Amino acid sequence: MTEDPFKAYSQPGLVVFAAVLAGIMGTMNLIYGFLLLINDEFLVLANEGLYYVDATAWGWLLLIFGVVQIAAAIGILSAKTWARLVGIAWASLVIVGHMFFLPGHPFWSILIITLGVLIIYSLSAGLADQE
């Protein structure tokens, strides 16, 4: 009989939420990355709070992030500690990154920052219990 990987979690519902969200964001990053590599005119930018980034480089970066996020989501669902740490690091980077988008997209940035904080809490709560 196989052992339930979620027995290691003190709050399995939040951990599954974080894993599913990481998988969705990873898939979205893969799609955006492919779109930017195929057509670098795809990127639509607002007039305020912009930072110049090469669209092709941004596409490759999103592809790499997408693969890492999907791998982390699978690892989180498999109760792997490394995946939880990757998820915490990823959510931290997302929070810092969206600070730059606050002037141009305040509502969206605040929403993503809030989700990042929730993901960090979900993945870090009970982390010591898993070991």
Q: CB burial class (10 A; 0-12, 13-18, 19+) of residue 5? A: middle
Helix (H) or strand (E) holding 85: helix 81-99
pLDDT at 51 (0 to 100)? 53
- Residue 48 corresponds to which amino acid? E
Please count the CA atoms within 13 angstroms of the CA of 117 that sit on its side-chain side: 6
* Residue 85 in this model has a pLDDT that exceeds 60: yes
- Residue 120 corresponds to which amino acid? I
Query: 36-83: per-residue pLDDT in tens?
Result: 888 766 555 555 545 556 778 888 988 998 899 999 999 998 888 899
Is 72:23 a contact under the CB 8 Å cutoff? no
pLDDT at 1 (0 to 100)? 47
Residue 13: band (very low, low, confident or very high) from pLDDT cuts 50, 70, 90: confident
pLDDT at 4 (0 to 100)? 55
> Is the whole-model pTM more than 0.95?
no
Is 18:126 a contact under the CB 8 Å cutoff? no
